[in-house]
Structure 1
């Protein structure tokens, strides 16, 4: 395990379809493969049990939601216990009637649900109508203590916000983990698609650099048709990756195919890198009051 400062992580990238049980079986197969290849920590993609639910605004989609703890966390907990791994999953959470969240969950090696994180930043874009479905999170930016380290778990759109990454770092996270569902728009040409994917990769590598810790990103892959037939559907760009505390690539997945991506993390390097690049030391906390404003008019 990670007691010597090393942690082997597996990222399970796969396509999803309409049947939640098929999707959960694909996640389980990836978990088993990762554990069989020596992983201590398994990261699943965003909302891995269902097709991406937010392509259109449809009240019937709320039927896909479930409580936390609930069936998915129970299933992942049993796998964590059987395989002796820490699992980070993602659930469309039904908290109460009319109150839903996009929630990451952490299962310890003994099967316990030891942490949850409710997505804080909620997008509202064509094909990604998440504000219709999810209330903003209220769990704060608190790492989850596990046997493989303190996990700074965030979700998808959170990955664009340096404030979220920094707050996890300031709370003592050893690494940042992002279950993700992001893809290309059909109308964009190849050059625009590459710019978007490059921006996505770059901003998260920057979180690793400025906070001196590894970043793990697990994205969906494949095409999911628009369930209402109104649009071209979503083509997720895969490209799951792991970078070290200087933003260096440790492992990268392809764009199209399911993949179980393995990476070995040397968590001792966090301290080594921060000694060379002491961003936390040199922060001017006395001069950042305006960060609490929406905009300076």
Structure 2
């Protein structure tokens, strides 16, 4: 299968979990009707971004794998014959929770999961309170549409994560995401942040010679405590090819983004830009240090 049509669902989320799921399902159906074989949902797509505050009641939203979300979306994947990349708040054990992406095969089975490795702790993004760092490593998930290098949001800033996925055979990098602005920032600061977000992910495509799919949420979500200014999620989901070229870009509204990947291009690009060949693996030992003093 040289050509692969992929879709990203960029969605604004409400307090009503069932309404969010219904909207996701409708978008997945539309994407499948347009020929998408792989559909990617954004980070924590069944509800609002609860990490703006530290609230133990939020742990009630966590669920097991398999569980309600995987059962629902597995049935949908099987019905439509598509591979789905989903995201949920995983309850692994009492007091042990993860931010987890689950990949569902087109026959409805669970192809694999990835637990978010890099966990931020910034104003309005208090994820360390909720999520244990992932322990599954950087392993691609093998599916009928190829080997998927699934990472999650904050992971997208780390070239090491992208490289390790590529070295393990990932054919595409996928980033379910929830990122946005503090409304109090200046317009110039907002633009710098979004440009950096786009640039670093396009660089992962360039450095590894594989496509990148980044699905972000959109819309304003208030801080439920009232202490903060809330987050304006900037959307701007995109699909980039193996030279970082844009294949499709979304705006700042709800949208289904679709593009066709030419799987042969990664091989062709790596032949003219042989970055993997020229890596000095004998000289990179210090990468496992926190800092060189």
Could you tell me which of 169, 172, 187 is aligned with 1:175? Answer: 172
For the pair 1:287 / 2:279, whether they are aligned, the reply is no
Aligned residue pairs, count = 293
Asked if structure 1 preserves the Cα contact closer than 8 Å seen for 2:184 and 2:229, the reply is no
Deviation at 1:167, TM superposition (A): 0.2
* Aligned-residue RMSD, C-alpha: 0.6
Aligned counterpart for 1:160 among listed residues 135, 157, 162: 157
Contact 2:7 2:40 in 1 (8 A): yes
Say if 2:114 is the partner of 1:93: no
Deviation string 1:124-164 (CA, Å, 9 cap, x unpaired) is: 00000000000000011000111111000000000000000
Other structure's SS at 1:47 match: coil
**Deviation at 1:18?**
1.0
Match of 1:24 in 2: 21
Say if 1:50 and 1:64, in contact at 8 Å, map to a contact too. Answer: no
**CA displacement at 1:188 relative to structure 2:** 0.6
Runs of 4+ in 1 over 4 A off after TM superposition: none
Instruction: Give the alignment's TM-score, normalised by structure 1.
Output: 0.98
| 1:126-145 paired onto structure 2 within 5 Å | 126-145=123-142
Cα offset, 1:249, TM superposition: 0.2
Alignment equivalent of 1:225, drawn from 213, 222, 226? 222
Work out which of the residue numbers 52, 55, 59 in structure 2 matches 1:55: 52
After TM superposition, list the pairs within 5 Å mapping 1:1-297 onto structure 2. Answer: 3=1, 5-255=2-252, 257-297=253-293
Residues of 1 paired with 2:188 and 2:135: CA distance? 38
Task: Note if contact 1:54-1:129 (Cα within 8 Å) is conserved in structure 2.
Answer: yes
Return 5+ residue gaps in structure 1 as ranges.
none
**How far off is 1:233 after superposition?**
1.3
